[in-house]
Structure 1
Amino acid sequence: MATDPLQKTDPEGVAPKSDAAPGHLVQFDEVVKRYGDHVVLDHLNFTVQRGQHVTLIGPSGSGKTTILRLLMTLERISEGLIMVGGQPLSHMAGPDGSLKPASEKHQRRIRKKIGMVFQQFNLFPNMNVLQNITEAPVNVLGIDRAEAEERAKELLDLVGLREKITAHPTQLSGGQQQRVAIARALAMRPEILLLDEVTSALDPELVAGVLDVLRDIAHSTDITMLCVTHEMNFARDISDRVMMFDSGRVIESGAPEKIFGDPKHERTREFLSAVL
């Protein structure tokens, strides 16, 4: 049984050991994504270990969000292989044992390991907060409604919105809606949480509250995170590893203190001098 992604760390700050298999939770192997003649990801190779927090930085258009969209199967790869939890996401085994492009059913099964918080909140306007959080666990995972509602209340405590449980999205600020979206993603008990510029649609005064919630999740749980952000201080705070992208390739990767304190690549230095 997989570790609950909201399981707390012990008093020493060490995440409890998972009984799931160790090693790569996400693996991109020579992944290419192109639109016509335009190459967005260029033979991309990287891995994310179970429990790691990895942040992707780089200029707009460098391919960062495309990586998350491929993991959510919102896009299909052009070449290469994506593995999640040791199983192919982009492909499946054919009758002769060779790999062929994955069916939608196969992708849905593997995708259950993944939750994503988008730039836009995408809450159901006709549902209140509790319903927004419990709809998918009940109807997709088949969780008992009472259990799903209890879980939703715990998650609303986590994101600081328990008092908004009966509110509808139009009654919430943008920052509150994004916190509900975070709770909704976590309600599916994903092994991997994808974060795509989750503060970019917020007014500046609302950004800090959402980032504080994500910091708390990063520091107090052992969920794996793959984050795209232009909030460099946030990236420095929550990341085990930072990857700098340019033109669909990883040009530099390392611990945040190394990337932000002593970047080796000239393009990384140029980018950081522009955004810090």
Structure 2
Amino acid sequence: MSTELKAPELIRFENVTKRFGDNTVLDNLCFSVRPGKHVTLIGPSGSGKTTILRLLMTLMKPDAGTIDVNGSRLFPAGEKEIREVRKNIGMVFQQFNLFPNMSVLRNITEAPVRVLGLSRDEAEERARDLLDLVGLGDRCGAKPSQLSGGQQQRVAIARALAMRPQVLLLDEVTSALDPELVAGVLDVLRDIARTTDITMLCVTHEMNFARDISDEVLMFDSGRVIESGSPEKIFSDPGHERTREFLGAVL
């Protein structure tokens, strides 16, 4: 993954611009991600990182440029095409966004049944396997209010994986957690990165986590990628002064 486009590409941003009023959040952005790679976006708040994830989730549209996922055009495209592409993308947000009136098991099975057309039995079998994966196999019947924040976030991760996405988007998934809960959630994500072939695009301020799981790290500033490279290169020998300033402040 780099600002030079390499084939095969699973995700491709071509000259993507996004503005909010007079504020240009993404400025003619070009980059691509190859299948199975784990790419982490770092940089100061407001540099456009989360906007990239929200564009991929079709929560907003770019003002210019094109976005392709697995060879299909996400933007610009019709609603039917967008829905089909979206089935291959899962996202875990800063906030857990679980349905409070549903059990943990139902939170995970609802989308596979309604969107993918799985039978309830098949969806529940998949959900139980995923809950075992995230260390919550014994909490199927619990309601979200009965779980800690870290447990709720692990349920949210299982819910995203239940759709069997090609791409998993992670948006500051530990930022809303108490410090003592962060390690458990990051350990789950490390296991997923190590044991699956899911492509991961991650926004985080947890630099040790980024170093552990990333194939490539992109440094963003003012809506542009100003530097990219391996974790070893970015964290040990960054070439751009802005990268050195940022890492000096957060490490």
TM bracket (short chain):
over 0.9
1:111 aligned onto 2:86: yes
Q: Distance in 2 between matches of 1:217 and 1:113?
A: 17
Q: Which residue of 1 aligns with 2:114?
A: 139
Q: Distance in 1 between matches of 2:197 and 2:247?
A: 29
Q: Which residue of 2 aligns with 1:8?
A: none
Aligned with 1:69 (options 54, 62, 67): 54
**2:67 aligned partner, one-letter code:** I
Aligned with 1:195 (options 149, 152, 170): 170
> How far is 1:106 from its partner?
1.9
Aligned with 2:238 (options 247, 253, 263): 263
1:166-205 to structure 2, matched below 5 A, reads: 166-205=141-180
1:84 aligned onto 2:69: yes
Aligned with 2:229 (options 238, 242, 254): 254
**2:224 aligned partner, one-letter code:** R
Q: Distance in 2 between matches of 1:132 and 1:105?
A: 25
**1:87 aligned partner, one-letter code:** S
Aligned with 2:37 (options 48, 52, 70): 52
Q: Distance in 2 between matches of 1:37 and 1:246?
A: 17
**RMSD in angstroms over aligned alpha carbons?**
0.7
> How far is 1:142 from its partner?
0.2
Structure 1: give runs of 5+ residues left out of the alignment: 1-21, 92-101
Secondary structure at 1:24's aligned position in 2? coil
Q: Which string of whole-angstrom CA distances, capped at 9 and with x for unpartnered residues, describes residues 211-256 of structure 1? A: 0000000011111000000000000000000000000000000000
Secondary structure at 1:236's aligned position in 2? helix
Q: Which residue of 1 aligns with 2:4?
A: none
Q: Determine what percentage of the aligned residue pairs are the same residue.
A: 76
Q: Distance in 2 between matches of 1:103 and 1:84?
A: 14
**2:38 aligned partner, one-letter code:** H
Q: TM-score, normalised by structure 1?
A: 0.88
**1:82 aligned partner, one-letter code:** I
Q: Which residue of 1 aligns with 2:3?
A: none
Runs of 4 or more consecutive aligned structure 1 residues displaced over 6 Å after TM superposition: none
Q: Distance in 1 between matches of 2:160 and 2:79?
A: 20
Q: Which residue of 2 aligns with 1:32?
A: 17
**1:39 aligned partner, one-letter code:** T
> How far is 1:104 from its partner?
2.3
Secondary structure at 1:162's aligned position in 2? coil
Secondary structure at 1:69's aligned position in 2? helix
Q: TM-score, normalised by structure 2?
A: 0.97
1:173-252 to structure 2, matched below 5 A, reads: 173-252=148-227
